[in-house]
Structure 1
Amino acid sequence: MKFHRSLSIAALFCLAAASQAGAHPHVFVDARLEVVADDDGNVTALQNVWRFDEFFTSSVILDYDANMDNQLTGKELTDIGDTVRESLAEYGYYTQINDNGEDVPLAEPDVIHADMMDGQLLLIFSAKPSRPIKLSGHLTFGIYDASMYTAIDFQRDEDLAMIGDAFGRCKAAVVRPDPDEIISQNSDALTAAFFNDPTDMSKLFATRLDLTCPD
């Protein structure tokens, strides 16, 4: 039974990428991302809160409600967090970090905490970049699913936040790309991606925190 539950939630998060050519969102997430830096201007953590839509939450309850009480508590929530931590490792936890033109993976979080609030599944976790990042030059941070199976949205600009006095040196902006403008500027490339692999193009549509910091 545990294998069945793990396979099910992994499929809901990840395995739908097999049909990317006709990809459109099936899971909807309201996210909050806090980029944390120390006083020396080093990025020390990316802190995440993801709130999932009610339909997806219902499917997770069906798979993980071991005692059939129509709730998720205790070990049921722990099992969800452990499964997501393992399942999303291959996908970099949907996290995009770019340090002066170089993509930097997110290191595996020590733990992903699952919880329920107002009938919706929450995932809460903190992780570090896989290598040190200094607040210098041009940096971007965001969360998106390259397969476009999961739609991750930041409801407010404040949901992409900076924690630490070192950010006071940087010029910051939340960038929300205009889909019509992106399509107009990249029509040939997007057409090719539609028939081949859309994952490289999906980042063009993703909301991101854009930082410019002095060297």
Structure 2
Amino acid sequence: MRYRILTIATLAAAGLPLPALAHPHIFAEARLEVVAGNDGNLAELRNVWRFDEVFSSSVLLDFDKNTDLKLDEKELAELGEVMRTSLADFHYFTTITLNGAVVGVQKPDAIHVSIDDSNQLLVIFAVKPEKPVPLKGKLTFGIYDPSMYTAIDFPTDGDLVAQGAGFSKCQHKVVRPDPDEVIAQNSSTLTDAFFNDPTGTDMTKLFATRLEVTC
């Protein structure tokens, strides 16, 4: 199948078998900028993802139509559009909560894709919440793959930031859950089915790095 290894989401969306997803197969380093609007609401989440060399090489093989061993602007645009469509089913790996309630995200206008100097796939896009999110109470923001097929890592706490005057009076911190503590605290609900379910579950977010903001 043509898009057999396009993205984590594309693998699943394309109907490919994904057995034994207890550990990731694709790795990406990320940066997340949470931007406040001038109206006192959340404006958007800006994402930058840099994928590992193996996955990046695989994407090159899949989308290099003219076999010149590089991706031109048209091929990169096609890749971005396929990702924009496929990742919709996974909410673009984005989780927003307001006082514990999950808020969905809109489809981005575009996903921009390039290959950096180290031949790694660089993906840049922004998503907006599907409804107004006032900057009041407790908000959390996270980027993770619920199927566990991709490991999305934030190398430093400085890679998750809150920007804009609307956050000036808010407290924020980066939370990096300890897997052993998560398992110990949720031993009654984290069953074998959780670790072997290829569709993922909402429990995956317990392990995900997140930005917590209290306003």
TM over 0.5: yes
Aligned counterparts of 2:150 and 2:107: Cα–Cα separation in 1: 20
Structure 1, residues 85-134: CA drift from partner, whole Å, max 9, x if none?
A: 00010110000000111111111001000001021001111121111111
Residues 195 and 34 of structure 1: CA distance in aligned 2, closer, same or farther (over 3 Å): closer
Aligned counterparts of 2:184 and 2:16: Cα–Cα separation in 1: 26
Shift of 1:187: 1.1
Stretch deviating more after TM superposition (18-27 or 149-158): 18-27
Conservation of the 8 A alpha-carbon contact between 2:9 and 2:90: no
Conservation of the 8 A alpha-carbon contact between 2:4 and 2:16: no
1:203 counterpart SS class? helix
Q: Give the number of equivalent residue pairs.
A: 210
Conservation of the 8 A alpha-carbon contact between 2:21 and 2:148: no
Aligned partner of 1:142 in structure 2 is: 142
Conservation of the 8 A alpha-carbon contact between 1:51 and 1:122: yes
Alignment of 1:15-26 (within 5 A): 15=12, 19=18, 22-26=21-25
- The residue identity in structure 1 corresponding to 2:75 is E
Aligned partner of 2:69 in structure 1 is: 70
Stretch deviating more after TM superposition (7-16 or 43-52): 7-16
Aligned counterparts of 2:7 and 2:210: Cα–Cα separation in 1: 26
| Structure 1 unmatched ranges of 5 or more | none
Aligned counterparts of 1:122 and 1:39: Cα–Cα separation in 2: 29
- The residue identity in structure 2 corresponding to 1:52 is F
Aligned counterparts of 2:213 and 2:16: Cα–Cα separation in 1: 31
Residues 126 and 114 of structure 1: CA distance in aligned 2, closer, same or farther (over 3 Å): same
1:188 counterpart SS class? coil
Aligned counterparts of 1:184 and 1:167: Cα–Cα separation in 2: 34
Residues 187 and 46 of structure 1: CA distance in aligned 2, closer, same or farther (over 3 Å): same
Alignment of 1:94-173 (within 5 A): 94-117=93-116, 118-173=118-173
Aligned counterparts of 1:186 and 1:20: Cα–Cα separation in 2: 24
Aligned counterparts of 1:17 and 1:92: Cα–Cα separation in 2: 19
2:195 counterpart SS class? helix
- The residue identity in structure 2 corresponding to 1:136 is K
Structure 1, residues 113-158: CA drift from partner, whole Å, max 9, x if none?
A: 0001021001111121111111100100010000000100100111
- The residue identity in structure 1 corresponding to 2:175 is V
1:5 equivalent to 2:2? Answer yes
Taking structure 1 as the reference length, the TM-score comes to 0.91
Structure 1, residues 29-80: CA drift from partner, whole Å, max 9, x if none?
A: 1011111112332111111111000000010000011121211121010010
Residues 91 and 14 of structure 1: CA distance in aligned 2, closer, same or farther (over 3 Å): farther
2:162 counterpart SS class? strand
Aligned partner of 1:208 in structure 2 is: 210
Conservation of the 8 A alpha-carbon contact between 1:13 and 1:150: no
RMSD, matched Cα: 2.0
Taking structure 2 as the reference length, the TM-score comes to 0.91
1:194 equivalent to 2:195? Answer yes
Bigger helix share: 1
